[in-house]
Amino acid sequence: MQTLKASSVRPMARAPGVRAAPRMQRPAVVHVKAELKVGDKMEVYPDYFRVLKTSQGGTVSLSSFKGKQPVVLFFYPKAATPGCTKEACRFRDEYSRFTQAGAAVFGISSDSPEENAAFAKANNLPYPLLTDANAILRKTFGIKPDLLGLLPGRQTFVIDVSGRCVMAFNDQFKVEQHVDEALKVLSSTSVTA
């Protein structure tokens, strides 16, 4: 029996004209803290500081609103689909009530900024739609898919001025109730103070 030393083992030579197989890139790893729950401080979620592209051509970081105003963030599955259009238009129709409560409103999906811009323009949406590329924020906040994993989850959060989650509402089918629940929470003085 022969024992080989590491120094005596040579890599196998390739035949002329044969290239090495390309290395596979690893998919991005998303570290999920846990499902975002009422009472959680947003700063423990690293993606709270992520810069997202808007449908209006700019960028925004949700953390930039801490200490300034509450944020209503509604995740929707896909722009220009019936349920998402109904939800987005209901947020549009009640937008003045959100601004009177001092809140910033954002819709968010994995659609491209261009798709979100077309959706916003077609429905006269007065608030920005954010692009969550690769659904990273959706995963970080622990939003589970619906309908046996076929649809991204529909979830609305209200984040108070101090950066604390004060509402988490999930329902794929009661799309207009997302607005009602958010307005109910915003009517509480502790959210805006």
Give the CA radius of gyration of the chain. Answer: 22
Per DSSP (E only), the strands in 45-185 are 51-54, 59-61, 71-75, 104-109, 129-131, 155-159, 165-170
Tokens representing residue 21 in the block: 């197989």
Residue 60's region, left for phi above 0, alpha for psi from -120 to 50, else beta, is beta
Distance CA 17, CA 177 (A): 63
Tokens of 153: 């989850």
How far apart (Å, rounded) are the C-alpha atoms in residues 5 and 140? 47
Residues serving a catalytic function are 84
